[in-house]
Amino acid sequence: MLPQELIRLKRDGQPLAAADIKTFIQGIADDRISDAQIGAFTMAVFLNGMSREEVVALTTATRDSGHVMQWDSLNLPGPVVDKHSTGGVGDLVSLVLGPWVAACGAFVPMISGRGLGHTGGTLDKLESIPGYDPYPAPERFGDVVKSTGVAIIGQTGNLAPADKRIYGVRDVTATVESIPLITASILGKKLASGLDALVMDVKVGSGAFMPTTEKSHELAKSIASVATQAGTPTNALLTDMSQPLAPCAGNAVEIVETLELLRGERPNSRVMQVTRELAVEMLMAGKLAHSREDALSQLEKALTSGAAAEVFARMVRELGGPGDFMERSDSYLAKANVVKPVYAEQTGTVQRIDTRAVGMSVVELGGGRLRNDADVDHSVGFSAIVELGTQVDRQQPLAYVHARSEDAAERAAQQLRAAFTMGEGEASIDELLQKTYRGEAL
- Residues with a catalytic annotation lie at 82-85, 122, 170, 185, 189-190
Separation CA 80–CA 243 (nearest Å)? 32
Q: Report which of 386, 411, 407 is spatially closest to residue 248, judged by C-alpha positions.
A: 386
Torsion (CA) 415, 416, 418, 424 in degrees, nearest 10 = -170
CA distance linking residue 252 with residue 412, whole number of Å: 17
Helix (H) or strand (E) holding 349: strand 348-353
Question: How many other C-beta atoms can be found within 10 angstroms of the C-beta atom of residue 404?
Answer: 15
DSSP 193: T
Helices 93-102, 252-262: inter-axial angle, 10-degree rounding? 30
Measure the CA–CA gap between 280 and 296, rounded to whole angstroms.
7
Residues 101 and 81 sit within 8 Å (Cβ to Cβ):
yes
Helix then strand count (H, E) for the chain reads 17, 13
C-alpha to C-alpha distances, 100 to 20, 105, 108, 419, nearest whole angstrom: 42, 9, 10, 33
Question: Are the beta carbons of 184 and 219 closer than 8 angstroms?
Answer: no
Angle in degrees, CA 204, 206, 212, rounded to 5? 55
For the chain, the residue count is 442
Identify residue 338 by its one-letter amino acid code. V
Chain-centroid distance of CA 19 in Å reads 31
Of the candidates 112, 300, 315, 85, the one whose C-alpha atom is nearest the C-alpha of residue 202 is 85
